[in-house]
Amino acid sequence: MPGTGTSRSNPRENINMATTWLDISSLYGSTTDVAHRLRSKVDGKLLTQEVQSPGTRAKASYLPFNTMGVPTNTRPGVEPEGLFVGGDPRTNEDWLLLGIHTLLLREHNRLCDILKKQKPGWDDEQLYQTMRLVMSAKHALIANAYQMAYWTEKMPWPRDDGFPLYRQMFGENALEINPANTYPWPLVTKNGKPMTVSAGMAVVYRFHEFIIPNFPIKDQNNETLWEQNLFDTSFNSTGFLNAGLERILAGALSSHIPNFKSGLDESFRSAGLYRGRPFDIVVSSIVHEREQGLPTFNQYFREYNAQDPEVVVPIRVIWDKFSTDPEDIENPKKLYKHPDDVDLVVGCQLVLL
């Protein structure tokens, strides 16, 4: 952001000012206006449409269509009013993303029914805000499970120590900055707004390797009805309803992720115009990382090791230290002049291959 990044007291700020907390803004929205448009204003629940999809015995809740004018991404020839509405403009980009959003919607409203029975005197606002907090906590647990699966004993960050950069930034020891000792945690707020270490968000919460080119559509007997190309599902709300959430999620759960920890499937990167415009997720991620001023892989772990963590991460001073497979380091050697230049996320993925 212009005017920032001039000193330690005025660090670089991102243009994206959406909250960095794991608050499921993809479901609830990042602004007060969007959040209000998505609410039913009854019993704390979110708006839905009730549809009976193939293979089911009764109607079930789906995201409503975007009749309330919430900003959403689309592609040429597809009107926003014919797409589902969610808290994030990317809601309709593929069926797997839509499936998760729909599942979260159902869970929010299901829990509202339970809470209303337990707290019959609560109004809509109390029910909504409480369930939003509960859902955010559940989402954080899911994200942490992914984090624990990603890292290893030899490459432990941030499982070994989640606070090294905070200590570097603020000059405090682990006990002094531990949120259990300083609640509400002042180090994750700035001017009253949530903040986070960009390195943590860049490395820990990148789910691109979960994106697969194809997945099966399954019936209630777990039989494959057809193989679905993921990128053909973009901005296709009618097809989503015709297939049905249950069939889509059953297929997703039975799918194998062949490139877990390796970044992403090349078919996703090469999908090109599936969003309606040229897009390269690898380039976008690296540019996004550099715009935030993240350190390179070696810069980061030199500072990390200086904090005396339980597990010291070796600095990759030569290319062979990133990987023992010559093919894995062939392209980085062409793209970077020196191992010290390797971007943080690229280095982590090389080491974790």
DSSP 288-331: HHHHTTPPBHHHHHHHHHHT--SSPPPP--SGGGT-S-HHHHHH
Residues 334, 322: Cα–Cα separation, whole Å: 14
Residues 6+ apart with CB under 8 A from 98: 63, 84, 91, 92, 237, 240, 248
Of all helices (H) and strands (E), which one includes residue 175?
Answer: helix 174-177
Per the CB < 8 A criterion, the answer to whether 30 and 17 are in contact is no
* Annotated binding-site residue? 208: yes
CB under 8 Å to 104, separation ≥6 — which residues?
24, 26, 27, 135, 139
Q: Is the dihedral of CA 274, 278, 282, 287 positive or negative?
A: negative
Does residue 284 contact residue 291 with C-beta atoms inside 8 Å?
no
DSSP string for 83-117: SB--SSTTTTS-HHHHHHHHHHHHHHHHHHHHHHH
Kindly state the tokens that stand for 236: 């296709």
Task: Report residue 76 as tokens.
Answer: 């040429």
Nearest 5°: the CA angle 139, 288, 25 is: 25
CB burial of 146-161 (b: ≥16 within 10 Å; e: otherwise) equals ebeebbeeebebbbbb
Residues in binding site? 208
Q: Annotated binding site for heme b, which residues?
A: 208
